[in-house]
Chains A and B, each alone.
Chain A
Amino acid sequence: MSHDMSEDKLPESHGSAGQHEVASHGDPFADPGLPAHEPRRTDIDERAAKRAERQVSLMFVVSMLATVGFIASYVAIDADKIVYIFPLGHVSALNFALGLTLGVALFCIGAGAVHWARTLMSDHELPAERHPIEADDEVRADVIEQFKTGAAESGFGRRKMIRNTLIGSMALVPLSGVVLLRDLGPLPEKKLQHTGWDLATPEHPLPLVNMNTNKPMKAEDIVVGSLTFAKPEGLEEDDETFQQQIAKDALMLVRIAPENIKDKDSAELGFEGILAYSKICTHVGCPISLYEQQTHHALCPCHQSTFDLADGARVIFGPAGHPLPQLKITTNEEGFLVATGDFAEPVGPSFWERS
């Protein structure tokens, strides 16, 4: 196919070299000017041009067919049909069919248009003049003169009292907008300092409820080396403020053999080696969920702050700034784990008012 182009239609010479060598007598680096236009095959061979025309049209036809395919897929394929397609795996058949047909329909319009432009539209490069962005001196002087006239007529410079009060009022008026934002939310007050465990007192201890089973927990149910998640009794999933509460109340219980607990104060807050720490990372508040049994290290999966639960949840790696708060727990007369008060310090990320 590539040889059927008639030789006699080829231009006399190729390239710009011939015509432009002239200028090199003076400055060898001088700009030789725009090179001569080289015709493309489609410019000189009508058969090549016809072929390009057919190619462009073919792409537009494929696009039409793909759009029909898109509509047919929309009608014919169920939304919940899952198919296996190598190497993608199990995918939604509808999503796959719609996406590919739409992709082909759009791509072929684009490919056709670009092919058309590249093969059949003129490829003569043309120069256009640029004009400096800056105005010339005359225009500049004229505009400045006009502005001065306007400014003088307004008396803005002369009537200083008007000017100054205008500036003052303009400076103050946006404050109204800022003030209006006040009711976006309540004031922080002491809300961040307290959690749902606040309800617990030594007289009325609050039972710990297992997060998964929703049942109170006995000390003997927690084995050494295990990690259990708990919430305060009375907090239910369908409470209106559940999300807000659990963001502060979430507790993790770990049982460490008493002789392995390095921090004595921490051991005293626990019950027979069961320690209750806030589950909320003190860095930016992700829940900590990765626990290494042998080392008693807990790691936050968001930013990798690592806490040593055997040593008062001290930070041993990562960006967290202080240990996890610990909740004082004991058991009631029936043997269930209970809290007798709130955390000694606020849970979660630190903030300015945190002491």
Chain B
Amino acid sequence: MSAANSATSGASKPASTREKPANKAEAVADWADGRLGIYSLAKANLRKIFPDHWSFMLGEICLYTFIIIILTGVYLTLFFNPSMGEVVYHGSYAPLNGIRMSEAYASTMDISFDVRGGLLIRQIHHWAAIVFVAAMLVHMMRVFFTGAFRKPREVNWIFGFLLLFLGMFDGFMGYSLPDDLLSGTGIRFMEGAILAVPLVGTYLQFFLFGGEFPGTDIIPRFFTIHILLIPGVMVGLLVAHLILVFYHKHTQWAGPGKTEKNVVGMPLMPVYMAKAGGFFFLVFGIISAMAAIATVNPIWAYGPYRPDQVSTDAQPDWYMGFSEGLIRIMPGWEIRAWGHTLNMGVFVPLMIFPLVLAVIAVYPFIESWVSGDKREHHILDRPRNAPVRTGLGAAWISLYLVLLIGGGNDLIATHLHLSINDITYFVRVGFFVIPVITFVITKRWCLGLQRRDRDKVLHGRETGVIKRLPHGEFVEVHAQLPQDKLHKLTAHDQPLPMELPAEVDENGVAAKTGILTKTRAKLSHGFYGEGSQIAKPTAEEHHEITSGHGHH
């Protein structure tokens, strides 16, 4: 049929020489392929291999909660009125009847009490946001501790970091929108922080708020940023993030048959599609159930915002607790000179906050600089095999937790019957001390685990069988590990620390060693030198032990 057509319509017109489609579905696919090129696209991806490990679902949770946030967010915009116009409440929540409030707060009350299902969507939106940030943080830890951020994935680490950063700020803005007493207090905190910026602080504040605090512009402005600007940027970053994940292919754990040159797992269609697609529904289902059972942000209990009122236990959502901790533990240092005030008590925490985040962002570049490693890495590190990195990660988490204690010092004081001043003093010291202690403990712990791996490889596993030797000694029989286990336990790299170039070159002329090179060598020794890794067993050592006599 098609051959006959092409013969009559002339040779200049390109015609399909394809066989006739077998059924309707193929016909539709053929139609689409002629316009969109779907076959070429699907050829590479339909049976794309995804390796399986439980920790790979953490990134999926981030993606799915983000989708849930967008879906529920669109619903909420249909009912929410981002206005600071004043109204008197006459809705169905009796305790606030006749109270003066902003339209933003009133419409949030209506969503919660008069729109059927509105409370549920609000709760799903807020819970999903909390899970989103938590999942991003844990996903990032997974990537960090397994070294998955190494070449070629450094750029994707940056994308992920930006997503976390934007997610935190969009969360803060969303939290502020209902204009309740708690969120208004949060905005007031932000205003005070902006005012603390030297030189331009007051100008920034007046431009952002459209005048003095609180003014009437901040909620509509936050609304636009919260629903349009930041989510728009995030969608772009997310797509780029996923494209890179697709392009790089997943990392995988060391194991039999797994190399740097392959990826072992299940094909996208059907297994991964079913599992990942199904997992979206699992996440959505669980968050819906959470929204039904556990109330988050009951704005009706706080009341509308007024600058002269506040409740105790004023807390941001947990992911901002980090900045809240910094602001609470900082001593109130103020420098007043030449008619100006530099508010160190607020400005210093304001600077430490992005600094701590930025250190995380650039970590992959620091590590590759220190190791001088230019190879691609697709096999993951077990955390124990990178003790310094693992120690740094643990130290960072401990810093986060210490600051979270600082940010919730009032809650801890009331719940554990402690003095709020003591907690604050503890956190002030802990800020400097606890990360160091955590680093040392974690590093030593990793080294201990490395020693155990070495033991297992060389001496085998304990069988629990006790043997009595002819001369009366009791020994436990150790069994050799199978080869796949031996391979797994010895597959990791052990980079050597960088050595400083010789002081004099071959002609006896003193070589100049820059401060940067010296620092790099020092750091490299810290990362990979003696005391930072236990030499993994060699084949010779293994041979000697297993072939010799008197060993067991």
Q: Chain A: residues with CB nearer than 8 A to chain B?
A: 16-17, 20-21, 23-24, 27-35, 74, 79-80, 88, 91-92, 94-100, 102-114, 116-118, 121-130, 132-133, 181-182, 184-188, 191-192, 211, 229, 231, 237-238, 243-244, 246-248, 250, 279-280, 283-287, 289-290, 301-305, 315, 317-322, 348-355
Q: Which residue of B lies closest to A130 (CB)?
A: B261
- Contact: A321 with B261, CB < 8 Å? no
Q: Beta-carbon contacts of B107-124 to A below 8 Å, as 1s and 0s?
A: 000000111110110011
* A-side contacts of B199, CB under 8 Å: 352
Complex Cα distance, B277 from A124, in Å, reads 19
Q: Which residue of A lies closest to B209 (CB)?
A: A185
Sample (6) of A-B pairs whose CB atoms are under 8 Å apart = A20-B483, A32-B256, A129-B262, A319-B328, A349-B195, A351-B343
Q: Which residue of B lies closest to A16 (CB)?
A: B484
- Contact: B307 with A243, CB < 8 Å? yes
- Contact: A98 with B346, CB < 8 Å? no
- Contact: B271 with A99, CB < 8 Å? no
Q: Which residue of B lies closest to A109 (CB)?
A: B281
* B-side contacts of A24, CB under 8 Å: 483
Complex Cα distance, B484 from A20, in Å, reads 8
- Contact: A30 with B346, CB < 8 Å? no
- Contact: A287 with B49, CB < 8 Å? no
B265 at the interface (CB under 8 A from A): yes
Q: Beta-carbon contacts of B193-206 to A below 8 Å, as 1s and 0s?
A: 10111111111011
- Contact: A302 with B307, CB < 8 Å? no
Complex Cα distance, B420 from A108, in Å, reads 46
Knowing A113-B278, A352-B198, the reply to whether A28 touches B539 (Cβ < 8 A) is yes
Instruction: Please give 17 more A-B residue pairs, beta carbons under 8 A apart, in addition to A103-B291, A248-B212, A320-B345.
Output: A28-B486, A29-B491, A95-B291, A96-B292, A102-B292, A121-B274, A128-B263, A182-B207, A186-B206, A243-B306, A244-B211, A247-B214, A284-B188, A284-B189, A318-B328, A319-B329, A349-B196
B259 at the interface (CB under 8 A from A): yes
B69 at the interface (CB under 8 A from A): no
Q: Which residue of B lies closest to A248 (CB)?
A: B212
Q: Beta-carbon contacts of B344-362 to A below 8 Å, as 1s and 0s?
A: 1110000000000000000
- Contact: B202 with A188, CB < 8 Å? yes
Knowing A107-B282, A114-B282, the reply to whether A229 touches B202 (Cβ < 8 A) is no
* A-side contacts of B539, CB under 8 Å: 27-29
Complex Cα distance, B257 from A16, in Å, reads 12
B260 at the interface (CB under 8 A from A): yes
Knowing A28-B542, A126-B265, the reply to whether A184 touches B207 (Cβ < 8 A) is yes
Q: Beta-carbon contacts of B413-441 to A below 8 Å, as 1s and 0s?
A: 00000001100100000000000000000
Task: Return B479 CB to nearest CB of chain A, in Å.
Answer: 12
B158 at the interface (CB under 8 A from A): no
* A-side contacts of B424, CB under 8 Å: 304, 317-318
Complex Cα distance, B198 from A7, in Å, reads 80
- Contact: B420 with A185, CB < 8 Å? no
Knowing A108-B285, A184-B207, the reply to whether A287 touches B307 (Cβ < 8 A) is yes
Complex Cα distance, B271 from A125, in Å, reads 11
Q: How many of chain B's residues touch chain A, expressed as a range?
A: 35 or more
Contact partner of A351 (CB less than 8 A), chosen from B114, B115, B196, is B196
- Contact: A113 with B275, CB < 8 Å? yes
Complex Cα distance, B411 from A295, in Å, reads 23
Q: Which residue of A lies closest to B489 (CB)?
A: A29
- Contact: B188 with A133, CB < 8 Å? no
* A-side contacts of B532, CB under 8 Å: none
- Contact: A286 with B196, CB < 8 Å? no
Complex Cα distance, B340 from A319, in Å, reads 19
* A-side contacts of B119, CB under 8 Å: 92, 94-95
Knowing A110-B282, A186-B206, the reply to whether A290 touches B345 (Cβ < 8 A) is no
- Contact: A187 with B261, CB < 8 Å? no
Q: Which residue of B lies closest to A239 (CB)?
A: B86
- Contact: B308 with A279, CB < 8 Å? yes
- Contact: B266 with A126, CB < 8 Å? yes
- Contact: A126 with B210, CB < 8 Å? no
Contact partner of A106 (CB less than 8 A), chosen from B86, B188, B288, B330, is B288
Closest 7 CB pairs of A and B: A99-B292, A284-B192, A107-B285, A113-B278, A110-B281, A34-B257, A321-B334
